[in-house]
Amino acid sequence: MTSSPGGLAAKTLPLLRHPVLRRLAQAFFVAFLLMVFAFLLIRLIPGDPAMILLGDEATEEDVIAYRKLLGIDGSIPSQFGRYVSNLVRGDFGVSIRSREPVLSIVGKRLPVSLWLTVTTIVMTIALALPLGVAAALYRRTWFGHAFQIGASVLVATPVFFSGLLLILLFAVQVNLAPIAGYHAGFPANLYYLWLPALTINFVLVPVLARILQSSIVETSTEEFVEAAIIRGTQGWRFYWRYLLRPSLAPTIAALGYFAATVVSYAVIIEIIFNLPGLGMTLVDAVRNRDYPLVQGIVFLSGLLVVGLTFMADLVNGWLDPRAQIR
Amino acid sequence: MCQQKEREIEPLLEVKDLCISFGKGGGRKLPVIDAANLSLDQRQAVGIVGESGSGKTMLCRALIGTLPRHGAGIVSGTVRFDGQELAGAPERVWRGIRGREIGYIPQSSLAGLNPVLTVETQLVESITAVGSFSRQEARQEAAGLLEKVRIPRAQQVLKARSHQLSGGMRQRVMIAAAIAQGPKLLIADEPTTALDVTIQREILSLITQLRQELNMALILVSHDLAVIEEVCDDVMVMYAGASVEAGPVAALSKAPRHPYTRALRVSRVDRAVPGQDLEAIPGDAASVGSWPAGCRFWPRCALADEACRRDTQPALMPTAQQLSACIHAERMAELEQ
């Protein structure tokens, strides 16, 4: 096995010297590992899933039929071969409980989760960026100290608690959001999404704003910042070009990662706010031991994570050319 | 050149009894410079020499108004530049001075270029800071600047970012940015420290040539006396936050009147005799916060006596051709004969 597919591939394939293509190759490699992981998920669980699902009373024929349904009949290599060829054809298997194809279930639930993710991330950027900049510029004033304390308190507050508090405040006291539920269709769905997104951001914004704050503080001691001051660079140019842009890379990388974790936060959030998203489906699937569905959701939401991190890297490469040579 | 003579015209820059310390207000202050004196005329080149920690860089920052960024400030003394008092000047005044009147090449100027911006973007910033230029004009001007600092393939370098350039190239770009607004004075704080020896020479001769072409005065900071003797007319020697000797380069090299200057000269590597041990200055340099009482050099000085230990740091006093802060300056003259 190679530890760095990009490094090895770059030597053998000149095309992969291009940073974007190399990063893309890495993304595909991770996606492959993810596929293997999802495959092993069912196979590594102790005991025979078919026996567990059917109980002691099951007949031999039932067990065999069930194994076939789960794709765990025959040797492991042949199972893997079928699994991969099915995935390539877009066949993720059938939900044990509803007998509905996994892909169509995910297709129905994923948009809700995606909308939640997008709303959350837009909100994160809108809040964390100004907050991080302000916290860096005014770190020696009362605002900076208040930010430090406030950020620690918010990060330490569990989302199920802050979520309930926010429902109490915005949905019960002030009628600005529904208590729970969802209706599809933009922009009407934002009415149902802004409060869940805010709840997640109670954790995300303080973390990201602090990452941004410390990078800006670090950047501000750089020689090139002093050089710009001496040159007479002022106003937005100075703040954007010399403080913010060279400081963004760690924040964007973290944003890519957190965008991915929204999917797992969503498990709790979707339950609190009763959103019919992927998170809630996953919890149900686990509870019902619906292995094909669990496997499909793990793989597809994992792909989402890979895609989002890839996008974050692309944005970083564009904003900060240093990222490309690393 | 002689500093003691009456002058008909005011010098371009005159620093008198400058004291700088770290820390804002209150009682907790840490002095880094407490008696810096420097004078230079239009088009003159003055070198500042001293060990690290002697306060050379802080003096430069005082001249460019960036002390507050480093948590320091001027406590007392004056900095007169071109008829204007700069000690304690507000930011508004500094904006008219930095870049326009005084160009600056920072110490570790290899980190002086923004890694996310192209050379062109940064040069255009410098150019458009004064006067009104169209985008096109500013770009041409930027290419012209690179030619001035002898960079071949200017168009290619303009589009490059700092990690794509060699150390010598980056330093040339920094010099181009420093001279973009046509300053009267160029301050170069150890401009060659981080460079290869061969490139050091190129950069030094470039600075010398530009100085003559553009009629600039120059302050060259270095810990290397040989470099300063090559480039400068006058030299000021700093030790532990104080100016200890100042005067024409020739006078200080032929007949130093401060034991520290003499020690710097004999410890020069380029004067070493093969097979013989290099003469190092005994003891360690006095560091900020633990300056000795009396003359700050006495613990390392062969001439030190009771008076040196007892009195305070002596002020610069005129001797034959230069200024010296040693009470035994005359004795040094006798010893030489």
Say what the pLDDT of residue B281 is.
76
**Percent of chain A residues topping a pLDDT of 70:** 93
- The model carries a pTM of 0.78
**Residue A207 three-state SS:** helix
Instruction: Give me the residues paired with residue B73 across strands.
Output: B21
Which tokens go with A170?
């915005």
Q: Give the angle subtended at the CA of A70 by the CAs of A66 and A73, to the nearest 5°.
A: 80
d(CA B253, CA A301): 75
pLDDT at position A3 is 42
Q: Please give the backbone phi and psi of residue A62, each rounded to the nearest 5 degrees, phi first.
A: -60, -45
Judged by CB atoms closer than 8 Å, whether chains meet at B116 and A245 is answered as yes
Per-residue pLDDT of chain B (337 residues; tens, 9 = 90+): 444 445 567 899 999 999 999 886 555 688 899 889 999 999 999 999 988 888 898 999 999 999 988 888 898 999 999 989 999 899 899 988 998 999 998 776 568 899 899 999 999 988 888 778 888 899 999 999 999 999 999 999 999 998 889 888 999 999 999 999 999 999 999 888 878 888 888 999 999 999 999 999 999 999 888 889 889 999 999 999 999 999 999 988 888 889 999 888 877 766 666 777 666 777 777 778 788 888 989 888 888 888 888 888 888 888 878 899 888 888 887 777 6
Tokens of A53: 């699902």
Cα-based angle B208, B209, B214 (whole degrees, multiple of 5): 105
Q: What angle do CA B240, B243, B248 make, to 5 degrees?
A: 140
Mean pLDDT of chain A: 84
Are B117 and A241 an interchain contact pair (Cβ–Cβ within 8 Å)? Answer: yes
Torsion angle (degrees, nearest 10) of CA B281, B287, B293, B298:
0
Give the gyration radius of chain A's Cα atoms: 24
pLDDT value of position A5: 45
* Tokens representing residue A31 in the block: 């996606």
All residues at 6 or more sequence positions from B254 whose CB lies less than 8 Å from its CB, including other chains:
none
Q: How confident is the model at residue A1 (pLDDT cuts 50, 70, 90)?
A: very low
pLDDT higher than threshold 60 for residue A8 = no
**Residues B92, A206: Cα–Cα separation, whole Å:** 36
What is the mean predicted confidence (pLDDT) over A90-116? 88
Say yes or no: A126 contacts chain B, CB-CB below 8 A: no
Flag whether residue A320 sits within 8 Å of chain B, measured between CB atoms: yes
- Give the chain A residue whose CA is nearest to the CA of B183: A231
Q: DSSP readout, B296-325?
A: TTGGG-SS--HHHHHSPPPPPEE-SSSEE-
Measure Cα distances from B107 to A63, A134, A224, B219, B226 in Å. Answer: 77, 29, 11, 13, 18
Look at residue B175 in the predicted model and tell me its pLDDT: 93
- Residue A84: CA atoms inside 13 Å, Cβ hemisphere, count? 12
Compute the distance between CA of residue A194 and CA of residue A188 in angstroms, rounded to an integer.
11
Query: Which residues of chain B have a Cβ shorter than 8 Å from any chain A Cβ?
Result: 64, 66, 69, 95, 98-100, 104, 106-109, 111-117, 121-122, 125-126, 129-130, 161, 163, 174, 177, 180-181
In degrees to the nearest 10, what's the CA dihedral of B62, B66, B70, B75?
40
Question: B53 near B31, Cβ under 8 Å?
Answer: no
Of A34-48, A237-251, B100-114, B284-298, highest mean pLDDT: A237-251
CA closest to A318 among chain B residues:
B116
Q: Is the ipTM of this complex over 0.85?
A: no
- Residue A232, helix vs strand vs coil: coil
**Residue among A222, A231, A325 whose CB faces B126 most closely:** A231
**What percentage of residues in chain A have a pLDDT greater than 90?**
25
- pLDDT for B232 equals 94
Cα separation, A200 vs A196, whole angstroms? 6
Residue type, B70: H
When pLDDT is cut at 50, 70 and 90, the band that residue A318 belongs to is: confident
Quick one: how far is CA A277 from the chain centroid?
Answer: 14
Interface contact A325-B121, CB threshold 8 A = no
A319 in contact with B at a CB cutoff of 8 Å? yes
Q: Is the pLDDT of residue A252 over 60?
A: yes
Residue B243: per-residue pLDDT:
93
Residue A241 and residue B106: Cβ atoms within 8 Å?
no
pLDDT of A326 reads 43
Contact across the interface for B98 and A321, Cβ inside 8 Å: no
State the burial class of residue A186 (Cβ atoms within 10 Å of its Cβ: 0-12, 13-18, 19+).
exposed
Q: What angle do CA A7, A8, A12 make, to 5 degrees?
A: 120
Query: Do the Cβ atoms of A319 and B116 come within 8 Å?
Result: yes
Q: How far is A45 from chain B (nearest CA, A)?
A: 49
Instruction: Give the separation between CA B118 and CA B320, rounded to whole angstroms.
Output: 52
CATH class of B13-113+165-271+280-336: alpha beta
Alpha helices (H) in A71-141, listed in sequence order: 76-88, 102-137
Confidence at residue A62, expressed as pLDDT on a 0 to 100 scale: 85
Q: How many CB atoms sit inside 10 A of residue B11's CB?
A: 18
CA–CA distance from A164 to each of A182, A183, A264, A267 (Å)?
17, 20, 18, 15
Residue in the structure block whose two tokens are 């001797």:
B319
Strands B217-222 and B45-49, bridge-based pairing: parallel
Whether B124 and B85 have beta carbons less than 8 Å apart is answered as no
Phi then psi for B100, rounded to 5 degrees?
-75, -45
Secondary structure element (H or E) that encloses residue B266, with its range:
helix B259-266
Q: Is B95 close to A246, i.e. CB distance below 8 A?
A: no
From CA A117, how far away is CA A123, in angstroms rounded?
A: 10
What is the model's pLDDT at position B38? Answer: 93
Flag whether residue A17 sits within 8 Å of chain B, measured between CB atoms.
no
Tokens matching residue B322: 């230069």
Alpha-helical regions (H) of A221-247 = 223-231, 235-237
